[in-house]
Amino acid sequence: MTDTTLENNEMPAAEVPEAKPAKPAKKEDSFPVFVLKLGIAVVLFRSFVFAPFYIPSESMLPRLLNGDYLLLAKWPYGFSRRSLPFGVPLLPEQRVLASNPARGDVVVFKAPAHFEEDWIKRVIGLPGDTVQMKDGQLVLNNVPVPKVRISDFEVAVSPNTRCYSSQFMAKRADGADVCRYPRFTETLPGGKSYDVLDLNNSNPKDNTDPVVVPEGSVFLMGDNRDNSEDSRYPASPDGGIGLVPIDNLLGRATVMMWSTDGGAEWLKPWTWFTAARWNRLGGAF
Percent of the chain with pLDDT over 90: 75
Structure confidence by residue, pLDDT tens digits, 268-281: 999 999 999 999 99
The Cα–Cα gap between 281 and 272 comes to 15
Query: What confidence tier does 5 reach under pLDDT thresholds 50, 70, 90?
Result: very low
In this prediction, residue 6 carries a pLDDT of 39
- Residue 261 in this model has a pLDDT that exceeds 70: yes
Do 243 and 131 form a contact (C-beta atoms < 8 A)? Answer: no
Q: Where are the domains of the chain?
A: 45-149+187-276
Say yes or no to pLDDT of 36 above 70. Answer: yes
Q: What is the CATH number of domain 45-149+187-276?
A: 2.10.109.10
Confidence of residue 15 (pLDDT cuts 50, 70, 90): low
Position with higher pLDDT, 2 vs 104: 104
CA distance 57 to 51: 19
**pLDDT, tens only, 93-127:** 889 999 999 999 999 999 988 888 999 999 999 99
- The pLDDT confidence band at residue 20, using thresholds 50, 70 and 90, is low
What is the Cα–Cα distance from 250 to 95, expressed in whole angstroms?
10
Q: Is the pLDDT of residue 159 over 80?
A: yes
Q: What pLDDT, in 10s, does the model give residues 223-256?
A: 999 999 999 999 999 889 999 999 999 999 999 9
Q: Tell me, what's the pLDDT at 18? A: 63
Most confident of 7-11, 19-23, 78-82, 215-219: 215-219
- What pLDDT score was predicted for residue 274? 95
**In this predicted structure, what is the pLDDT of residue 195?**
98
At 180, the amino acid letter reads R
Specify the DSSP element, H or E, that contains 48. helix 31-48
Provide mean pLDDT across the span 45-69: 95
Q: Which of 59, 217, 228, 231 is catalytic?
A: 59
Query: Is position 80 annotated as part of the catalytic site?
Result: no
Of 18-22, 89-93, 141-145, 176-180, the poorest mean pLDDT is in: 18-22
8 Å CB contact between 128 and 213: yes
Q: What is the mean pLDDT of the chain?
A: 90
**121: annotated active-site residue:** yes
Q: Catalytic pick from 47, 80, 83, 121?
A: 121
Where do the DSSP E strands lie in the chain? 50-54, 68-73, 106-111, 117-125, 130-134, 137-140, 143-144, 147-156, 169-171, 177-187, 193-197, 211-212, 217-221, 244-245, 249-259
Q: Within 13 A of 278's CA, how many CA atoms are on the CB side? A: 3
Residue 8 banded pLDDT, cuts 50, 70, 90: very low
Mean pLDDT of 50-77: 96
Rounded to a whole number, what is the largest CA-CA distance in the chain?
122
User: First-to-last CA distance in the chain?
Assistant: 93
Q: Is 106 left (phi over 0), alpha (psi -120 to 50) or beta?
A: beta
| Best CA proximity match to 251, nearest among 96, 74, 69 | 74
